Amino acid sequence: MNYRYSRRYAGKLQAVIFDWAGTVVDFGSFAPTQVLIDALGGFGVEIHMAEARVPMGLAKWDHIRALGDMPQVAARWQAKYGRAMSDGDVDAVYEAFMPLQVAKVGQYSQMIPGALDAIAALRAQGIRIGSCSGYPRVVMDTLVAIAADRGYSPDCAIATDDLAAGGRPGPWMALENVIRLGVGDVAACVKVDDTVPGIAEGLAAGMWTVGLSASGNEVGLTHEEWVALSPIEQAKRRAPAVEKLYAAGAHFVVDSIADLPGVIAEINARLAKGERP
């Protein structure tokens, strides 16, 4: 006799797993990008902000490698050094990048407006707060301490070099949060991120995904610059970010973490109907 076991999770959300820069801290995601610009500038190779943002969400070594593979950046490196950027060169840039990132991460990592209230609302519902990042552990330890002083202490913080399997766009950091937070079903988790690799991470882990358009890498403005725009200008800047995040597979896209509680309510309603990510 053949038996088939079927189980469909219909409870409420148990955990939300946040990215860091552009999601909970650092409106516009400037800490990773500007420091990469500074690091490559130290090697005499100019990188523009728009270029630095293209691989955002990847582990930082992979981010540098991806920049070096971009045709326009590769041409500048070739012109400077007479050869293509090697993995050894990536190692050297990464070694220069690391102390700069540790020194400067706090300068950019103010809490995004509405983040603390949104997280408090989640905790009031019994939702656990996880996190992961493209930052390596040495940067994460610095950032976690800074964020704690500013009122944010997630229940779990996974860095991109914590796991042998690697980082985004794979599911491993998100799934490590599931393990450490003791969540019983990935369908009870939401991954919140401002980048395409971060959305891919959540989808690969079998989670609900929420993309953040205005606060993150895709729009790339400070909070002051964003709120200074007219509604028409905001709509123009938001639209391509929303399209890109939905194209990556995000289940929902909102401006910032401040808009998350309403999304959480909608996901809970869909779970109650037996829907899965």
Residue partners of 120: CB distance under 8 A and separation at least 6: none
Tokens 């390596």 belong to residue:
136
Q: Residue 9 carries which side chain, given as an amino acid letter?
A: Y
Taking the C-alpha atoms of residue 73 and residue 84, their distance in angstroms, rounded to an integer, is: 10
The single residue of 19, 26, 193, 255 carrying the catalytic annotation is 19
Both tokens of 138, joined, read 């040495």
Q: Is the dihedral of CA 146, 166, 213, 47 positive or negative?
A: positive
Q: Is 194 a catalytic residue?
A: no
Q: Is 87 a catalytic residue?
A: no
Overall residue count recorded for the chain in this entry: 277
Give the residues across from 253 on adjacent strands: 211
The single residue of 12, 26, 38, 60 carrying the catalytic annotation is 60
Asked if residue 221 lies in contact with residue 57, where contact means CB atoms within 8 angstroms, the answer is no
For the annotated catalytic residues, the residue numbers are 19, 60
